[in-house]
Amino acid sequence: MKKIIILTITILNTLFSFGQTKENIYLNPKDSSTNYYIAYKPPGQAKGLLLLLTSFGETPEIASKETDIQNVALREGYLTVFASLQLGTQSFFIDSLSQANLDQLIPSIQKRYKLMEKPFYLGGFSLGGSGVVKYAERAYSRTDIPRPKAIFAIDPPLDFERMYYSLEYTIRNSITEASKQEANYFITRLQYEFQSIPQLDNKPFQTFSPYSFSDTSQTNIRALANCPIMLISESDFIWQMEQRNRSMYDLNTLDCSLAINTLKVLGNKRAQLILTTGKGYRKLTGKRNPHSWSILDTEQTIKWLIEI
């Protein structure tokens, strides 16, 4: 792969009173909406890197206000980065373009902050979490891209064949217009990304999904048999039924439980599923939503990462 010379514009903002800094790094000086990241840098040399991927439709700025994990990581001496990929808020994260973007972005961050020999951790929310698991599967199967020491994902969809059928169900049965519109968008997006529908050919769905129930050989997820992984989900079935017309089959909790169980069967003793109750709220609006950054226990997660 040809080396790409990337121009960067850095904006430094001093945070707090003890030397922490926030840097906005734009990889394309003509575009401030995509292909950039926000870095929270501790004073002195960082002990390692925590890279975070946002959900679909979410900017790094919003993500950094929905969670305080960067503050916990900074306290422990770790650089925390919220990244926007080449398609910005429209990034699908598990697609080839997004994954190739991560292949270049991660070592460039490590080099910039002199972290090539330091621990590297990867986390994400929703589709960003899907991208985290997908990247880790590739990294643990190869030697030419940086391998995270541990990963976590907050309520990620992992089986996109299951997701496709769930979206079809929503379009047929939901009485919430917003849910139908969202389902229609993602059905179209899945058809574009996979160039197929599962009823005709589910092989692309098995190939690109971080976890695939219909792939009886568990080709992708077995790459993480030795990877420390934490998946976090909050189902709240009653809320989902009453507010979103969703059943258990429509929730990412199903994918998370299947993936972790499969990894345990494969012998991964550092694979864990965290199920929360009543923690899901959007901080910026105060509204209840089990699918939120807030279900992550940031203190527990950072402690788990650095003790791996």
Here the tokens at position 178 are 């917003």
**pLDDT-above-90 percentage for the chain:** 87
Confidence of residue 301 (pLDDT cuts 50, 70, 90): very high
Here the tokens at position 68 are 């305080």
3-state helix, strand, coil in the chain (%, to 5): 40, 20, 40
pLDDT at position 19 is 58
What pLDDT, in 10s, does the model give residues 214-236? 999 999 999 999 999 999 999 99
pLDDT at position 3 is 40
- Rounded mean pLDDT of 66-95? 97
Specify the amino acid at residue 149.
K
pLDDT at position 179 is 85
Q: Contact at 8 Å (CB) between 57 and 63?
A: no
pLDDT at position 177 is 86
What pLDDT, in 10s, does the model give residues 95-105? 999 999 999 99
Q: Contact at 8 Å (CB) between 158 and 209?
A: yes
Write b or e for each residue in 244-263: b if 16 or more Cβ atoms lie within 10 A of its Cβ, otherwise e: bbbeeebbbbbbbbbbbebb
Q: Is the pLDDT of residue 1 over 70?
A: no
Round to whole Å and give the CA distance between 225 and 249: 26
Write b or e for each residue in 116-136: b if 16 or more Cβ atoms lie within 10 A of its Cβ, otherwise e: eebbbbbbbbbbbbbbbbbbb
Q: Is the pLDDT of residue 279 over 80?
A: yes
pLDDT at position 20 is 66
Q: Is the pLDDT of residue 61 over 60?
A: yes
Residue 188 neighbours by CB under 8 Å, 6+ apart: none
Between 168 and 16, whose confidence is greater? 168
Q: Is the pLDDT of residue 187 over 60?
A: yes
Nearest to 33 by CA among 77, 86, 82: 86
- Rounded mean pLDDT of 278-290? 97
Q: Is the pLDDT of residue 240 over 90?
A: yes
Nearest to 235 by CA among 256, 214, 262: 256
Average pLDDT, the chain: 93
Domain ranges of the chain: 9-159+228-307, 161-208
Confidence of residue 29 (pLDDT cuts 50, 70, 90): confident
Confidence of residue 178 (pLDDT cuts 50, 70, 90): confident
What pLDDT, in 10s, does the model give residues 113-132? 999 999 999 999 999 999 99
Give CATH superfamily name and number for 9-159+228-307: Alpha/Beta hydrolase fold, catalytic domain (3.40.50.1820)
pLDDT at position 129 is 98
What DSSP state is assigned to residue 283? Answer: T
pLDDT at position 5 is 36
**Residue 273 parent element (H or E):** strand 271-275
DSSP string of 186-247? HHHHHHHHHTS-TTT--HHHHHHSSS-SS-TT-TTGGGGTTS-EEEEE---HHHHHHHH---
- Rounded mean pLDDT of 284-291? 97
Q: Is the pLDDT of residue 11 over 70?
A: no
